[in-house]
């Protein structure tokens, strides 16, 4: 089967259009077409193939036939593409049927389930009200900073308090990031030394968040440092 439809090479095109006509002619309605449409396409294909044969034969090859082949090709392709657009959109057309015609089959995006593991989180640089968190898929220090299969981003939540809260509702959404290094900005009015607890979970392409990691304790350094160019989409 050609990698693109319709094929660009003339010999491949002849094979492809003849295959289409042979497949759709017996039962046009199975492809979302009617007999008149199929008959007209068959006529266009026959005319085009006829001029191809004439141009390939040294005896009948001529400027007139070469020009006629070009005109016939354009007319046939216009009709072919219009009908194949109908076939592609017809609810009764399956991918195996499209493959029979040599049509391009659209790849469906892979849908991944909700992540089942939590990231391993370590705290990096702390500057002003900004805390940097590093994410890994494994606890090992030597593990590469890669996401598990099916993970697109990570969602961060934080709780401000001296003691860790066991109530998930106490943790405020701080933002999301597609990176494995997240800069999390806290309110400017928090005094230096304020204890915060950060928990992060992986999310799939539909922003469905999996289990959160064990909250990690750190503290605000304080100062005038602010999050200028967020590595995260900060919650409003």
How many alpha carbons lie under 13 Å from residue 6 in its C-beta half-sphere?
26
25 and 80 assigned to the same domain: yes
Give the whole-angstrom CA distance, residue 1 versus residue 16. 9
Domain at 152, CATH number? 2.60.40.10
Instruction: Please indicate, yes or no, whether the overall pTM of this predicted structure exceeds 0.75.
Output: no
86 and 156 assigned to the same domain: no
pLDDT at 111: 79
38 and 66 assigned to the same domain: yes
pLDDT at 2: 42
Q: What is the mean pLDDT of residues 96-100?
A: 93
126 and 213 assigned to the same domain: yes
- Cβ–Cβ < 8 Å for 200, 154: yes
Task: Give per-residue pLDDT as tens, 133-188.
Answer: 999 987 655 556 678 889 999 999 999 999 999 999 999 999 999 999 999 999 99
Q: What is the mean pLDDT of residues 81-105?
A: 92
Domain count, the chain: 2
91 and 35 assigned to the same domain: yes
228: its two tokens: 């200028």
Q: What is the DSSP letter of 172?
A: E
pLDDT at 112: 84
Q: Is residue 3 one of the residues assigned to a domain? A: no
E strands, the chain, are: 120-127, 130-136, 153-160, 172-177, 181-185, 195-203, 209-212, 216-219
Cα 16 versus chain centre, distance: 29
- Comparing CA positions, the residue from 165, 162, 164, 183 lying closest to residue 174 is 183
Task: Give per-residue pLDDT as tens, 5-53.
Answer: 999 999 999 999 999 999 999 999 999 999 999 999 999 999 999 999 9
- 147 Cβ neighbours under 8 A, 6+ residues apart: 135, 137, 154, 180, 202
Q: Is residue 226 one of the residues assigned to a domain? A: no
Domain with 136 in it: 120-219
Q: How far is CA 226 from CA 105, 133, 151, 183, 186, in A?
A: 49, 16, 29, 10, 9
Q: How far is CA 50 from CA 46, 80, 101, 171, in A?
A: 6, 17, 21, 74
Class of residue 83 by CB neighbours under 10 A (exposed 0-12, middle 13-18, buried 19+): buried
134 and 205 assigned to the same domain: yes
Task: Give per-residue pLDDT as tens, 182-234.
Answer: 999 999 999 999 999 999 999 999 899 999 999 999 999 986 555 544 444 43
């Amino acid at each position: 089967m050609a990698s693109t439809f319709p094929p660009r090479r003339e010999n491949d095109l002849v094979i492809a259009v003849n295959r289409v006509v042979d497949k759709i002619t017996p039962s046009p309605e199975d492809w979302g077409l009617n007999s008149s449409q199929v008959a007209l396409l068959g006529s266009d294909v026959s005319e085009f193939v006829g001029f191809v044969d004439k141009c390939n034969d040294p005896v009948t090859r001529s400027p007139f036939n070469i020009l006629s082949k070009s005109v016939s090709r354009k007319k046939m392709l216009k009709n072919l593409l219009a009908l194949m657009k109908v076939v592609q959109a017809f609810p009764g057309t399956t991918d195996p049927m499209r493959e029979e015609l040599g049509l391009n089959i659209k790849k469906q995006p892979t849908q991944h389930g909700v992540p089942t593991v939590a990231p391993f989180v370590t705290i990096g640089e702390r500057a002003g009200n900004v805390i940097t968190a590093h994410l890994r898929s494994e606890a090992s220090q030597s593990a590469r900073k890669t996401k598990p299969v099916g993970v697109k981003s990570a969602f961060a939540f934080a709780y401000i308090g001296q003691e860790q809260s066991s109530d998930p509702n106490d943790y405020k959404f701080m933002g999301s990031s597609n990176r494995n290094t997240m800069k999390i900005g806290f309110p400017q009015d928090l005094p230096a030394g304020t204890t915060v607890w950060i928990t992060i979970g992986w999310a799939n392409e539909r922003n469905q968040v999996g289990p959160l990691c064990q909250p990690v304790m750190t503290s605000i350094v304080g100062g005038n440092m602010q999050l200028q160019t967020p590595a995260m989409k900060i919650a409003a």
